[in-house]
Amino acid sequence: MHSVAENQRKKFRIQAPSEKTKAEKDREDVRKYLRLIPTEAEPNLGRVREIKEEIKNGTYLTREIIEEAAAQLALRLLRKGID
C-alpha cells in the first residue's frame, strides 16, 4: 500500500548559476586567503588560564591578601620587639 504522501513527489527547480558581483567575488577571495593564514593561539592565553586557576583556588595574590599578610608580618615583628 502506498500512502498519499508517498505518491506526491517533491518538486524542485534547478536554477542557472547567477553572475557574481564584484563584491561577492572580493568576499570569496578574502575568505580564501583567511583560510590560508595559519591560526596561532594568543601568546598570553596560557598565563590568563593560570591566573584564572589561581583565582579559583584562592592562591592568586589580591590586594586583600597582601594587606592581610603585611598586617600579620607587622604583628610578628612587633611581638619580637617586645620580647
- Asked if residue 3 has pLDDT above 60, the reply is no
Residue with cell 598565563: 47
The model's pLDDT over 18-47, given as tens digits with 9 standing for 90+, comes to: 777 888 888 888 888 888 777 666 667 777
**Per-residue pLDDT tens digits for 39-80:** 666 667 777 788 788 878 877 777 887 788 888 888 888 887
Report which residue type is found at 39. Answer: T
In the numeric block, the cell 548559476 is attached to 17
Residue 83: all three cell numbers together = 620580647
pLDDT value of position 7 = 58
Q: How far apart are the C-alpha atoms of 67 and 45, rounded to whole Å? A: 28
